Amino acid sequence: MSSSLYYLKQNVVAEPLVDGWYAWAHLIPPATLSRNVTERHLKIMDSYIESPETHEAAVKDPRLLGGPFMDLKPRQQQAVEKLRERTLREREHLLILSRALEELDALLREKAAGFSLEPLYAEIPRALQGYVELVYDLNNHPSFRLIEPLLYKSPYYNCWLQTVALSEITGDDRPFVLSTPRLHDGEALHLPIPFASERLDHLFQAKRAPSPEGELWDALGLGDYDQARFRSLLTTDVPRPYQRYDGDGARWRYFGHACILLETRGVNVLLDPVLSYTYENDISRYTYEDLPDVIDYVLITHNHQDHILFETLLQLRHRIRHIVVPRNGAGALQDPSLKLLLQQCGFRNVIEISEMEEIPFERGSITALPFLGEHGDLNVLTKSAYLLKMGKHRLMFAADSCNISPEVYRHVHRDVGDVDALFVGMECDGAPMSWIYGPLLTQKLERQKDHSRRLAGSNYERALAIVEQFRCKDVYVYAMGQEPWLNYVMSIKYTEKSNPIIHSNRLMETCRSRGITAERLFGEKEILLD
Ligand SMILES: [Fe+2]
Ligand SMILES: [Fe+2]
C-alpha cells in the first residue's frame, strides 16, 4: 500500500440508499418508508417484472419523464425479481406497518363519528398501538398523529437498511430516483454504512483533505471488503482551491436550482444544498469544490427532494455548523419532522425555526417567512421562505411558495419592510399531488381531484404580487429545475411553450419595464454587493 496522500476523486458520486432505493426524505421515517415500499416500490417492481420492455420504452419517452418506470440497463428482470423477493421476505415488519396505517384510516372513517375516541384505542391495529394518538379537528374530522420519536426507537426503524453507493460520474444523466432502484450490478461500490456514522465524514473529508490510502480505508472499518474497488476512486490530484469572499460587502453565488451561497467576511449561508459534482461538461457551474470549509448556516426551505437532498447534505455534514429547518413535528404522516429525520442521519446541530422567528448573527439575521401552498393542499408545516439580512442587504428566498393569498405577504411586509432582491420559484404547473404523496393515501383519490391539487409554485400574477409588495429592486427566478444535473430528482424538461417559461418571461419583461433588474437563473451566477 502506498504512503502517498490521496483524495477522494471530485467526480465520485455518493448515493445514499435505503434498502437499495435512493434515500429521499420519505424513505427515512419508518411510516412513510413503509407506505413507499408497498405502494411505490413493490408496484413498480411488479410492473417491471411483468413487462420490462414497457419500462425500457417509457424511459425514452420525454412525455413520461418522472413516471413510475425503471431506468435500468437492459434485461434486469432477474435482478428486480430478486430485489422484490428480498423485500417481501425481509421487510415484513414494514409491510405490516403499511397495512396497519391503512387499517387505522379505515377504522377512523368507519367508527369515529364525533363521539369520544377512547373506545377506539383498543381497536388500533396492533402494529401501531403505542405509536399513535387519535384526534378530531374542530369539525369532528377524525385523524391520528404519529409519535415519531418512538417510531425511530422501534424495530420499524432499521439504520442497517442504509448504504452508500460510490461510483464515478462523467455526465449529467442519472436515473430518476423515485422509480429506479440502484441494483448491485458491479458499477458502484456499496458501502454498508448507516447515514449517521462518522465514518462517512472521514470519507467525505477526503475530497478536500488528503490521507494515506490505508488510513482512509481503516477509517471506513470495512476490513477486506472490496478494497481494490475503493482504490480506483482515489487520486493524488489536488482539488481546486476554494476562493473565499474577503470584501466589505457580500457575495452570492448561484449553484443551480434553489442552491445559493451567500458570504460576508464574517458569515456564510447556504440555501437548499443540491450540488453538481465536478466533471467535464458544457454548462459552466459551481460544484462541491466551490464551498467554504465551514458553512455557518444551511437553510432548508421545504421537504421536497429537489430542496433537501441527503446525498449533498451527508457530504457536507462535517462542514455544517447549523442546519435550519422549518418547525413541524405535529406527527402527520405526510409531514415527517425534519429535525428528527436529520438527527437520525447524524446531524447534531439542527435548529427548528417558526414563521416570523429570527436568528441573529454578526451584522445580519435569518428570518423565517410563511411559505404558501405547493403541497397539494395537504397540511404540511415543513415550509419556510427566508429573509436574509447581510449587512445593509436584504434578500428574500421564496423558494416554491405559491402566493395564493397575497394578504399573507402584505402582513409580512408590514413587519419586515422592503426587500432588495427576491428569489422566486415559478414552477407554476406542478406535478399532481400523488406524484410525491400518493403512496401515503390509503384511499384512491379521483384523478380529477388529484390533478386539481398540484405541487405548483407562483405564476406570473402571484410572483409579481410579491415583487410589488416588497418593492424589490432585483428579481431572480430560480428553482426551475432546468439544470440537467437535477434531472435525476426533478425530471423536468421545458420548452418555450411551457407555462413556467411563459410566466417567468412575462415577469421579467414587466420588471424590466419598471426599471427592476430581472433574470431567470441558470447554471451559475455570481453577484457582488457593496
Ligand atoms: Fe417544492
Ligand atoms: Fe422545487
pLDDT in tens, 266-281: 999 999 999 999 999 9
Model pLDDT, residue 493: 86
Written as one string, the DSSP assignment of 427-493 is --S-EETHHHHGGG-SSPPPHHHHHHSEE----HHHHHHHHHHTT-SEEEEE----SGGGHHHH---
Distances (CA, A) of 511 to 258, 429, 467, 507: 21, 22, 8, 6
Confidence grade of residue 2 (pLDDT, cut at 50, 70, 90): low
Closest ligand (CA of 426): 2
Ligand 2 centroid to Cα of residue 375, in Å, is 11
Please compute the mean of the pLDDT values over residues 500-507 and round it to a whole number.
98
Asked if the model's pLDDT at residue 473 lies above 80, the reply is yes
Model pLDDT, residue 8: 97
**For residue 39, what is the DSSP state?**
I
Nearby residues of 282 by Cβ (< 8 Å), 6 or more positions away: none
Rounded to whole angstroms, the Cα distance separating 216 from 6 reads 9
Please compute the mean of the pLDDT values over residues 443-471 and round it to a whole number.
97
Rounded to whole angstroms, the Cα distance separating 275 from 10 reads 12
**Which candidate, 4, 7, 2, 524, places its Cα nearest to that of 239?**
7
- 477 φ/ψ angles, rounded to the nearest 5 degrees: -85, 130
Model pLDDT, residue 160: 95
Ligand 1 centroid to Cα of residue 143, in Å, is 25
Ligand 1 centroid to Cα of residue 447, in Å, is 21
Closest ligand (CA of 481): 2
**pLDDT of 203-253, one tens digit each?**
999 999 999 988 898 888 888 878 889 999 999 999 999 989 999 999 999
Ligand 2 centroid to Cα of residue 408, in Å, is 21
Model pLDDT, residue 253: 98
Ligand 1 centroid to Cα of residue 408, in Å, is 19
Q: Which three cell numbers stand for residue 64?
A: 413520461
Ligand 2 centroid to Cα of residue 248, in Å, is 32
Ligand 2 centroid to Cα of residue 282, in Å, is 24
Distances (CA, A) of 389 to 249, 254, 364: 12, 17, 5
Ligand 2 centroid to Cα of residue 41, in Å, is 23
Please compute the mean of the pLDDT values over residues 43-62 and round it to a whole number.
95
Rounded to whole angstroms, the Cα distance separating 203 from 10 reads 12
Closest ligand (CA of 384): 1
Ligand 2 centroid to Cα of residue 436, in Å, is 12
Model pLDDT, residue 396: 98
Residue-level length of the chain? 530
Model pLDDT, residue 306: 96
Ligand 2 centroid to Cα of residue 400, in Å, is 5
Ligand 1 centroid to Cα of residue 188, in Å, is 30
Model pLDDT, residue 185: 83
Ligand 1 centroid to Cα of residue 186, in Å, is 34
Ligand 2 centroid to Cα of residue 479, in Å, is 6
N- to C-terminal Cα separation, the chain = 51
354 against 2, higher pLDDT:
354
Ligand 1 centroid to Cα of residue 270, in Å, is 17
Closest ligand (CA of 455): 1
Ligand 1 centroid to Cα of residue 302, in Å, is 7
Percentage with pLDDT > 90 across the chain: 92
Model pLDDT, residue 270: 98
Q: What is the mean pLDDT of the chain?
A: 96
Amino acid in position 287: T
517: Cα within 13 Å, side-chain hemisphere? 9
Full-model pTM: 0.97
Please compute the mean of the pLDDT values over residues 92-117 and round it to a whole number.
98
Ligand 1 centroid to Cα of residue 399, in Å, is 8
Ligand 1 centroid to Cα of residue 112, in Å, is 33
Percentage with pLDDT > 70 across the chain: 99
Four-residue CA torsion sign, 41, 46, 52, 58: negative
Ligand 1 centroid to Cα of residue 455, in Å, is 7
Ligand 2 centroid to Cα of residue 304, in Å, is 7
**Which candidate, 327, 309, 187, places its Cα nearest to that of 259?**
309
Asked if the model's pLDDT at residue 1 lies above 60, the reply is no
Ligand 2 centroid to Cα of residue 406, in Å, is 20
Ligand 1 centroid to Cα of residue 280, in Å, is 29
Closest ligand (CA of 25): 1
CB 325 within 8 A of CB 353: yes
**Which candidate, 264, 291, 265, 266, places its Cα nearest to that of 277?**
291
Please compute the mean of the pLDDT values over residues 354-374 and round it to a whole number.
97
Please compute the mean of the pLDDT values over residues 274-295 and round it to a whole number.
96
Ligand 2 centroid to Cα of residue 426, in Å, is 9
